[in-house]
Amino acid sequence: MADSVTKRRKAVEELADIAKSCTNCDLYKDATQTVFGIGPVTAELVLVGEQPGDEEDKQGEPFVGPAGKLLRSALDEAGIDPDEVYMTNAVKHFKWKPGAGWRRLHQKPNRYEIEACRPWLEGEFALLRPRLIVGLGATACQAMLGSSIRVLTDRGKTFDWGERQVLVTVHPSSILRSRDEASRQENRRAFVADLRDAVRIIAR
């Protein structure tokens, strides 16, 4: 068993190494580096987001920017140790356009880029054995479950993805974009409730 975990850990590291030189779509050209998944291969819970943001692109790790900080505190509040979760993105390079000054503005990856990156996501899941996947936002959920998934209406529901189960919820960056503090608090509470549902599903 330990051997198998060691082998899987090594295989994920090797996959991440190979992904560093991926040129399957054009996003590598303007990004700093490939941002692969991070976390234990034994994780019961895997979180899948859209793509790395500005800070993740610089640091080379997923969910280390403002949305990642919100995610980690929400996980804590839901009783989930962020260090025991495997976190990754549907797309492994940061897509952006220039903003004012030195700002780099997030751009949503298109269908072609999501498809081009899918082998990396599938490669990760070939080595992970989660009890549950949480899809964070439309891009991640649609990358796994297809374009008919709508986060607004499907949020809180679980769907089969092959032999795996995916719980649909919002991306934490959408909470940061709430129109005012009251709605931000409300959206954060709803997000924590979704993560608590994830805990209940895993415990079944």
The reply on whether position 28 binds ligand SF4 by CB under 6 A is yes
Q: Rule CB under 6 A: is residue 188 a binding residue for ligand SF4?
A: no
Rounded to whole angstroms, how far apart are CA atoms 53 and 37?
14
Backbone φ and ψ for 165, nearest 5 degrees, come out as -115, 135
From 58-66, 72-80, 109-117, 172-180, span contacting ligand SF4 (CB under 6 A) = 109-117
| Residue that the structure tokens 């796994």 belong to | 144
Residue 175's SS3 state is: helix
Using CB under 6 A as the binding rule, whether residue 143 contacts ligand SF4 is answered as no
Distance CA 145, CA 135 (A): 9
Asked if 88 touches ligand SF4 (CB under 6 A), the answer is no
The Cα–Cα gap between 194 and 88 comes to: 18
CA dihedral for 166, 27, 110, 116, sign (positive or negative) = negative
Examine residue 19 and tell whether it contacts ligand SF4 (CB under 6 A): yes
For the bound state, the minimum distance from the C-beta of residue 87 to ligand SF4, rounded and expressed in Å, comes to 16
Pairing of strands 132-136, 45-49: parallel
Residue 123 vs 130, nearer CB to ligand SF4: 123
Shortest Cβ 180–ligand SF4 spacing (Å): 34
Which range in 16-24, 76-84, 121-129, 194-202 contacts ligand SF4 by CB under 6 A?
Answer: 16-24
- Give the residues lining the site for ligand SF4 (CB under 6 A): 19, 22-25, 27-28, 34, 91-93, 113, 116-117, 120
